[in-house]
Chain A
Amino acid sequence: MANIEFTKKDLEDVALLSRLSLTEEEKEKFLVQMKEVLEYVGQVSEMASGSVESSGGEGYGKQFKDSVNNNIIREDNVLNQANFYTEALLENAPIRNGDYVEVAQVLDKHKNKEK
């Protein structure tokens, strides 16, 4: 994986998936920098070619195996009083309308009529 094919088109695709926009200047800069990082990290393929048993088996990392690789679940109960966090959470919303968080219109009335 020494020669990484990471093109401007790849960067633009990834930026859209990441919900980020980049200026032309930023694209040039990030393309070079990211290619360099991708080439560097490519060296992991040298060491991990076979299959490896996950998390250390019986000895080392057993604690991790038990508590990191297992799902931790709790009873589906409400733990706090009703409305305890409502005000604090709403206060952080960029646009608040009463007890609602306001967002841009998602459904378009007119388009639906046309169909």
Chain B
Amino acid sequence: MKTVKQIHEDLVSKKITVRQLVDLSLETIKNNERKFNQNISEVEDLNAVVDFYSTEFINEQIINAQKIIDENKSDVWTGVPILVKDNILVAGEKVTAGSKMLENYVATYDASIVEKLKEKGVILLGRTNMDEFAMGSSSETSFYGPTKNPFDKKRVPGGSSAGSAASVASNYTPLALGSDTGGSIRLPAAFCNLVGFKPTYGSVSRFGLIAMGSSLDQIGTFTNNVEEAESFFELISFYDKKDSTSIPKEKRQDINLEIKKKIGIPKILSDEKIRKSVDPKILEDFELQVKNLKTIGYKIEEVDIPNMDKALAIYYIICPAEVSSNMGRYDGVRYGLFSGGGDTIKNFINSRTEGFGDEVRRRILLGTYILSAGYFDAYYNKAVMAREILKMEFQKVFEEVDLIMTPTSTMFPWKFGEITNPLAMYLTDLFTVPANIIGAPAISIQTTKKEDVNSQNLPRAVHFIGNLFEDKKLFKIVKDLESFIQK
């Protein structure tokens, strides 16, 4: 697979046209997806792409991008096809969030980042499969059935941005958009041998992203390498007045690029109980990455973030609380699934019961309970306070070290149906959730070369958390490690 830089050079030097490039992507997708090609067996089907955008829209984009290139105004992503998680709005196109509730919903406006990408001539090809409303870690909660792991089709690709991960890993497109509320980009990136990046909260507009947990949600990317994650982030990171949590330009801290060359490993990683919950082979690979970083001149220090292991408990209070509120809008009246037969309240209940799957309903119920009178103080208020404590604990540590390093997941990609207990599934996000709780940028990178990954040698990954607004520093250090690993 060519890098985006090489693709860009080919486009600019007219070795290839935008249309040829798009056709190549469409062909690759059609060769792997049963939905578009009946010759693909159910076993072989990847089920990563829900649907293409309309032909008219794709054609319009191709013409626009080619024009930008012909006028020598292109930037590196102009004319490059990408796929979009099915919870980001493109005006006039369907968007379903992997749910029966929105099966026939057509977006009425563009997400702010979509507007930007259209302007730059990045080609949006279609929508990728995901856990319903981004709630899940395996894609098994999708209304459209699960996406498979491209390296072993008996295993999950990670979730919730499953289709985006599987698409990039299968060379459909060099990049796909995802969203990350508790690890929904970084986990599937780790499971599909990719770079998964979740930017600082507030740096990328959420306007036009179907909300799950609004104080945690962040749009990010899947790419083959860190450099492409970085250059795309520069494109989509801007102040947006339509998102009230977007950070105004003047308040975006001057990026601190002064590198101490110190990486912190949280103390909880030497805790016996925590270590037992992580696959020994993952810990082994983690030690190897520690060694690699030392080899390239980084100091590794143990750092104390006393309540880091509580982040997941904080998350499963704040997230369901926000979910129960965000899901309130699905009433079967203005849009979405309608199931009638009774009065207003009965229709409301029927529509929601039919439209939502188990995991979504479970989180709505949990959130409603947590926010109800009598329990609000015991749960929600406590979690909000605990969140502040955790932010301060991280703040202290970032005075000493550049980044914090952990494994991405506690487990390797598991087999479909292997984890049925919701809490057990939640626990696999132990290391990814803290970044969402504090709003920090975080990245997962693959530690095995793609050609060495297969069903016997599953993808491995390592995870870094940076300080707020130090996304650039995060990229810089992680690129050092990446080039050492890929050498």
A binding-site residues for B, Cβ under 8 Å? 1, 6, 10-11, 14-15, 17-22, 26, 30, 33-34, 36-38, 40-48, 51-56, 59-61, 63-64, 66-68, 71-72, 74, 85, 88-89, 91-95, 101, 103-106
Contact = CB atoms under 8 A, between A and B. Distances in A.
Interface size class of B (residues with CB under 8 A): 35 or more
Contact of B313 (A43, A52, A63): A43
Nearest to B438: A61
6 contacts: A33-B362, A36-B423, A42-B313, A43-B313, A48-B385, A63-B469
Contacts of B202: 63-64, 67-68
B332 A33 contact: no
Contact of A92 (B334, B350, B379): B334
> Which of B342, B386, B439 lies at the interface centre, i.e. has the most chain A CB atoms within 10 A of its CB?
B386
Contacts of A44: 310, 313-314, 317, 379, 382-383, 386
Given A44-B379, A67-B248, 7 more contacts: A1-B378, A33-B362, A48-B386, A64-B202, A64-B468, A91-B106, A92-B336
Q: 4 closest pairs, A vs B, by CB?
A: A94-B338, A60-B395, A92-B335, A72-B244
Interface in B44-99: 92
Contacts of B372: 14, 17
Interface string B219-250: 00000000000000000000001001111100
B389 A21 contact: no
A40 B421 CA distance: 13
B324 A18 contact: yes
Contact of A94 (B337, B358, B422): B337
B391 A55 contact: yes
B251 A18 contact: no
A20 B395 contact: no
Given A41-B317, A63-B253, A74-B241, A89 B108 contact: yes
A93 B349 contact: no
Most B Cβ at <10 Å: residue of A26, A38, A105 = A38
Contacts of B92: 88
A59 B310 contact: no
* Residue in A11, A41, A47 whose Cβ sees the most chain B Cβ within 10 Å: A41
Given A44-B314, A44-B317, A45-B378, A51 B368 contact: no
A54 B368 CA distance: 24
B416 interface: no
B386 A56 contact: no
B360 to A, nearest CB: 10
B391 A61 contact: yes
Contact of A63 (B251, B349, B358): B251
A34 B468 CA distance: 33
Interface in B116-166: none
A33 B378 CA distance: 19
